[in-house]
Amino acid sequence: MFKSFVIAGCIAAAGLCPAAVFCAGLGTTLDRARFPSEVLILRGDLQRLISPAALSPAEVTGLEGRIKSALTGLSWLALEYDALTRSGIDRKLLQDLDRSWAKRDLVSAEALADELSRRYTLNSAIFSAGRAGAEDLERARELDLQLCQGCHTDKVGTEKILPAYPLREMAANMPSEEFLARLLSGVRGASDTALANPLSLGDIRGLLRLYQGDTVD
């Protein structure tokens, strides 16, 4: 039986303060991934906001809300990441990013988010779709059928603040690391996992393989 969880609207889902959640299925692997994941999502959201021609006014509002929420929690995530990795987070970069957003200088904000993503990289190799086994892929298919497809049906341009786009389309239309980041940060558990992401490492690998279009012979 599946652990109960929800996949938040991956474009506009608000982040949670790390002090309020703990990791379930991925444990400390997710702890180390939260900050770089949020940076990748933030960069992608800024890129979409810079070129919003296909987006509805509601989608633009949702993007703005998600970016504001992400920036509010980014310093907390940076503290967690620094404590775990001793990476020495550049606080000035974070402050400059906040200032650029406050001035609505989207190009500058996107460039700063990109710089953060290059300095503090997400360890995507451990989640590689190529490491998914047949059992991982089969479970991913079941998760997709029973828990994902029912909600992820919105098209770009829909009049929704929190749209849930088809996951295969998302995987095809954004960098692979950003899509991984959205799987890691956009999935929330229920009360039995204190809202933490309940997916296992095998689940993530299987879902990546499924949505990237790979098949098992």
With tokens 């990013």, the residue in question is 97
Question: Average pLDDT over the chain, rounded to whole?
Answer: 84
- Dist. CA 133–CA 95, nearest whole Å: 42
Of 144, 134, 142, which Cα lies nearest the Cα of 170? 144
Record the tokens describing residue 80, joined without a space. 């967690």
Give yes or no for residue 217 having a pLDDT over 60. Answer: no
Give yes or no for residue 22 having a pLDDT over 60. Answer: no
Asked whether residue 60 is assigned to any structural domain, the reply reads yes
Asked whether residue 161 is assigned to any structural domain, the reply reads yes
- Find all residues with CB under 8 Å of 53, minimum gap 6, and list them: none
Per-residue confidence band for 26, with pLDDT thresholds at 50, 70 and 90? low
Arithmetic mean of pLDDT, 18-43? 73
Asked whether residue 217 is assigned to any structural domain, the reply reads no
Q: Decide if 158 contacts 17 (C-beta within 8 A).
A: no
pLDDT tens for each residue of 146-186: 988 888 999 999 999 989 999 999 999 999 999 999 999 87
Number of domains in the chain: 1
Arithmetic mean of pLDDT, 40-46? 97
- Dist. CA 164–CA 150, nearest whole Å: 10
Q: Where are the alpha helices (DSSP H) in the chain?
A: 28-50, 57-85, 91-102, 106-119, 134-143, 167-172, 176-186, 201-211
Angle CA(198)–CA(80)–CA(69) in degrees, nearest 5?
Answer: 75
Domain region containing 121: 1-9+22-212
pLDDT of residue 160: 93
Asked whether residue 65 is assigned to any structural domain, the reply reads yes
pLDDT of residue 98: 97
With tokens 């929704």, the residue in question is 160
Asked whether residue 16 is assigned to any structural domain, the reply reads no
Asked whether residue 45 is assigned to any structural domain, the reply reads yes
Give yes or no for residue 144 having a pLDDT over 80. Answer: yes
**Which of 21-25, 65-69, 108-112 has the least mean pLDDT?**
21-25
Give yes or no for residue 191 having a pLDDT over 80. Answer: no
Beta bridge partners of 189: 5
